[in-house]
Amino acid sequence: MKIKTKIGELEGDPREIRDFCKMIDFDAMQFFQPEKKISIFFVLLPLFIYLVMAVVLIFKPQQDPKIILLATFAALILMAIIVAGVHLRYKNSWVSVFTALVFLLTLPMLLGWVEPREAVNNLIDIYQKPTK
Give the 3-state secondary structure of residue 111: coil
Smallest Cα–Cα separation from 95: which of 86, 84, 104?
A: 86
Among 2-11, 51-60, 117-126, the range scoring the smallest mean pLDDT is: 2-11
Mean pLDDT of 90-116: 87
What pLDDT is stored for residue 7 in this prediction?
63
Question: Residue 2: beta bridge partners?
Answer: 11
Mean pLDDT of 79-93: 93
Confidence of residue 110 (pLDDT cuts 50, 70, 90): confident
Smallest Cα–Cα separation from 57: which of 45, 43, 46, 69?
A: 69
Give the 3-state secondary structure of residue 1: coil
Q: How many CB atoms lie within 10 A of CB 128?
A: 7
What pLDDT is stored for residue 81 in this prediction?
96
What pLDDT is stored for residue 99 in this prediction?
94
Domain ranges in the chain?
Answer: 1-34, 41-128
